[in-house]
Amino acid sequence: MEKRKSNQKKNQPNKQSKLGKLNEEMEQSKSCCHLAGVRTNIVPGEGSAEAKVMFIGEGPGQKEDELGRPFVGQAGQLLNELLAEIGLERRNVFIANVLKCRPPNNRDPLPEEVETCWPWLRKQIEIIDPVVIVPLGRHAMERFLPGMKISQIRGKVMRRNVPKLGVKVFMPTYHPAAVLYHREWLGALREDFRKIPRIIEHLESNLEESVEDGGNGVFEWDSLEIQPVKNRQEQGKLL
């Protein structure tokens, strides 16, 4: 019996293969919105299927559309720098968008487009099951924390019971592309990123409690007070 269970477990697809299959389904899907007709490439997302942190932006830009990869332009360079400052690389995290196809002229996502893409993003989150999700910018934030203002809740750690997804922890912050236009926000964005290692440490050490808190169906969200990590040496102890 034990041998049979072991073989069954061995034959179960791992997270990476599940993501690969999901990517294939996205590319072949006939149920996508009209953006599928104007894109160059679909941009499913990339990174580690075992990631503890998942970054979610709003949608692909021109460069992303050309290459089929998320965050590869100037905003992507800034994201890479911010990750490096907390001792992470793109291969350690997962990066996706609420839209999988580029909107014309990089306009804002329309509600119906976000809704159409939601099943794909939801499945990605279900497979990866990250410790914390970082919505980048107001459009990604609105998908998970509707009715909030990014300027008021950026950097705050919130636990929410998301319909059809379950209890997840979020820390919204500014989109790197927005910070390129508003350089005065860079300090706040850096501060938010420095919180990520401590958020992971806190949640992994209090995993049982965090699940129970949001499991009663009444709980909407709460805010955890997490301070940013002070320096690289301290960050190394946390991850």
Q: Kindly report, residue by residue over 75-120, the tens digit of the pLDDT.
A: 999 999 999 999 999 999 999 999 888 777 778 878 888 888 899 9
pTM for the model stands at 0.82
Mind listing the pLDDT tens digit for each residue in 38-53? 677 888 999 999 999 9
Collapsing DSSP to helix, strand or coil, 19 comes out as helix
CA dihedral 158, 159, 161, 166 (to 10 degrees): 120
Residue 36: what pLDDT? 63
Helix (H) or strand (E) holding 182: none
Ranges of residues in the chain whose predicted pLDDT is under 70: 1-12, 30-31, 33-38, 207-239
- Which domains are delineated in the chain? 15-238 (3.40.470.10)
